[in-house]
Amino acid sequence: MLEPVLARIDNQLPNAIERLFELLRIESISTDRAFKAECRKAGSWLVEQLNEIGFDASLRETTGHPMVVAHHDGPGDAPHYLFYGHYDVQPVDPLELWNQPPFEPQIIELESGQKQIHARGAADDKGQLMTFVEACRAWKKETGALPCRISILFEGEEESGSPSLLPFLEANSKELACDMAMVCDTGMWDAETPAISTALRGMITEEIVIQAANRDLHSGHYGGAAANPVHILTKILAGLHDESGRVTLEGFYDDVEEVPEDIRKQWEGLGFSTSQFLGDVGLSMPAGEANRSVLEQIWSRPTAEVNGIQGGYTGDGFKTVIAAQASAKVSFRLVSNMDPDKIRAAFHDYVKSKLPEDCSVEFIRHGTGAAAIQLDYTLPELKKAAAALEDEWGKPAAMIAMGGSVPIVGEFKRRLGMESLMVGFGLENDCIHSPNEKYEMTSFHKGTRSWARILAALAE
C-alpha cells in the first residue's frame, strides 16, 4: 500500500505547497500580543484542514492562544501515536534584513536548481508539521485509512514559552496519552542525511530588570556619583562566564554528565566541520568552553546566553543620560540531569549578590523552563523509524543530539509517560529565528514521504 501513497505525495506536491503557503501567510507571532487574532486564524486553518482529511479536529481554548486537537482511528490493534507541532512563529525583526516580506512565501530556485521555500515559519515549524499532515492526507485519500491510530496536538505558544501547555496536558491527559509521541521540530544531520534526535538540551529563560535611581539622570550632573544600572548589569552579565568560558553560577555543573565514550565516538564519525559550521555564519573561533569540541559545546554542554540587553538611550544620536533601569533577557541551556529550578535559583542568588544595596532587581519569568531529554536507544520505534528514513533517503539515519530545546518532549514524558520520536527535516542554514528563514523543498517533499514510510513501518 505504501507505493501508491508515495506516488500520490509526488503527484500532489504542488497542491501541498499551495496549502503550506496558505498557512505561511498567516502572521501567527505568538510572543507579540498584536498578532493574537492571527494566531487563532492559524489554529482554525489547521482544524479545517484536518477535518477535511477526515480527522475529528477542533480548536481548544486556553488562557493564551488556542490548541488544535485532532483524532483519527486506525486498525483495531494498531499503535496509537500523538503527533505534535506548533503553528506559532518567531517575531520577524529586524525586518529590513529580509529579502522579501516574511509572510509572503515564495519558492526561490537557486542556480543549482535547488528549490527553497522562503517565509517566516517555513522551517520552524509550519513546514515541518505540514510534512506530517500531508503524509496523513496521502494515506487517507489514497487508501481510505491511516495505518496507525493518530492523534494530533498543535500548539500556538511554543515560541513564547508555552504557558498554556502544562495545564492543557494535565486537563486532557486521558485524551492525549498515547503509546508514543512524534515530534517534528528538529533537523537532519545534513541535506542528504536524515536524523533522529535522541537528546535535547533543556532551557530556562529569565529577564532581569535592574533599577537604580528613580528617574533618568543627567550624566554630567550625576556621573561619577550615581549608580548606573547599565554598569551593574554589565558587571553581572560579564561575570556569568569565567576566562575559560565556563558558567560561574554556584553548582551549575553539579548535575552535568560527560557524554559516554561510544556516543562521543559516533559524533566524531559524523564528519562535523567546525570551520564550516562557524564559517557559514561569518565566525572562525569557537567561543564557548575551552577544550570542548563544538559538537560537545552545542549538544552536551550547558550554556548561559544573553539574548537581549537594553538600557538608556538607544535612538539616533547621543543622549548623556544615566538610565534609571537596564534589563537583559538571559537563557540557560541545560543538559543531563540539571534541574531548571535549581539553576534558576542559583542565577537569582548570583544576581542579588552583585547588586548594590540601594538598587533593586526584578526577575521576569518567560515560560516554566524545561529539563534536558535523553531518549532510550533501545526503543523498537526508534529502530523502525530509522529503517524507514534510510529507505527514503538512501543513507542511515544519524542518531544525533540537538542544542535547542523542545520543551514539549519533557512534558510528554513527565505528564503523559510518553517517549518522543523526534524526526525533523530542518537544516542548520534554515535561518530559523532569523531573517530570511527558509525550508528546503527536498525537506518538505521527502519529509512528507518519510512520514508516510514511518507510519507504515510503525504499523507493522
Please give the residues from 184 up to 203 whose contact with its own copies meets the rule CB under 8 A: 201, 203
- x/- string (CB under 8 A) for its own copies, residues 33-52? x-------------------
Element (H, E) at 195: strand 195-200
- Per the CB < 8 A criterion, the answer to whether 326 and 231 are in contact is no
Query: H helices within 372-436, ranges in order?
Result: 380-393, 407-416
12, 13, 21, 31: which one binds its own copies (CB under 8 A): 31
Specify the stretch interacting with its own copies by CB under 8 A; choose among 53-61, 128-136, 137-145, 321-329. Answer: 321-329
Q: Which residue, 21 or 222, is less far from its own copies as judged by CB?
A: 222
Q: Which residue, 13 or 270, is less far from its own copies as judged by CB?
A: 270
- x/- string (CB under 8 A) for its own copies, residues 347-386? ---------xxxx------xx-------------------
Q: Which residue, 54 or 424, is less far from its own copies as judged by CB?
A: 424
Q: Which residue, 320 or 353, is less far from its own copies as judged by CB?
A: 320
By CB under 8 A, the residues from 401 to 430 that bind its own copies are: 402-405, 428
Q: Which residue, 328 or 423, is less far from its own copies as judged by CB?
A: 328
- Per the CB < 8 A criterion, the answer to whether 28 and 39 are in contact is yes
Strand 202-211 versus strand 325-334 pairing type: antiparallel
By CB under 8 A, the residues from 268 to 287 that bind its own copies are: 277-278, 281-287
Q: Which residue, 136 or 326, is less far from its own copies as judged by CB?
A: 326
By CB under 8 A, the residues from 427 to 456 that bind its own copies are: 428, 431-435
By CB under 8 A, the residues from 210 to 239 that bind its own copies are: 212-228, 230-231, 233-235, 237-239
Minimum distance from residue 417 beta carbon to its own copies (Å): 26
By CB under 8 A, the residues from 73 to 92 that bind its own copies are: 90-91
Q: What angle do CA 424, 421, 262 make, to 5 degrees?
A: 95
Could you tell me the CA-to-CA distances from 440 to 69, 130, 199, 280, 312 in Å, in that order? Answer: 27, 13, 24, 17, 41
Q: What angle do CA 112, 117, 119 make, to 5 degrees?
A: 135
CA torsion 381→258→366→409, rounded to 10°? 10
Strand 325-334 versus strand 360-365 pairing type: unpaired
The rounded distance, in Å, linking the Cα atoms of 38 and 24 is 11
Strands of 20-162, DSSP E: 56-60, 67-72, 80-86, 106-109, 115-118, 149-155
Neighbours of 188 (CB within 10 A): 27
Neighbours of 258 (CB within 10 A): 11
Lookup: cell for 132 = 506530517
Neighbours of 151 (CB within 10 A): 20
Q: Which residue, 22 or 93, is less far from its own copies as judged by CB?
A: 93
Specify the stretch interacting with its own copies by CB under 8 A; choose among 114-122, 300-308, 368-376, 389-397. Answer: 300-308
Could you tell me the CA-to-CA distances from 120 to 87, 404, 408, 438 in Å, in that order? Answer: 11, 18, 21, 7
* 291 forms part of the interface with its own copies (CB under 8 A): no
By CB under 8 A, the residues from 322 to 351 that bind its own copies are: 322-323, 326-329, 331, 333
Q: Which residue, 4 or 223, is less far from its own copies as judged by CB?
A: 223
CB under 8 Å to 22, separation ≥6 — which residues? Answer: 45
* 288 forms part of the interface with its own copies (CB under 8 A): yes
Q: Which residue, 354 or 383, is less far from its own copies as judged by CB?
A: 354
Minimum distance from residue 91 beta carbon to its own copies (Å): 6
How distant is the alpha carbon of residue 175 from its chain centre? 24
Give the residue among 110, 152, 114 at the shortest CA–CA distance from 131: 152
Neighbours of 131 (CB within 10 A): 27
Lookup: cell for 205 = 529563560
Using CB under 8 A as the binding criterion, the count of chain residues that bind its own copies stands at: 101
- x/- string (CB under 8 A) for its own copies, residues 109-138? ------------------------------
Q: Which residue, 123 or 182, is less far from its own copies as judged by CB?
A: 123
Specify the stretch interacting with its own copies by CB under 8 A; choose among 148-156, 315-323, 417-425, 451-459. Answer: 315-323
74, 79, 312, 396: which one binds its own copies (CB under 8 A): 312
Minimum distance from residue 196 beta carbon to its own copies (Å): 17
Instruction: Find cell 555564519 and name the residue.
Output: 281
Minimum distance from residue 293 beta carbon to its own copies (Å): 9
Q: Which residue, 124 or 381, is less far from its own copies as judged by CB?
A: 124
Minimum distance from residue 384 beta carbon to its own copies (Å): 27
308, 341, 394, 414: which one binds its own copies (CB under 8 A): 308
Q: Which residue, 174 or 215, is less far from its own copies as judged by CB?
A: 215
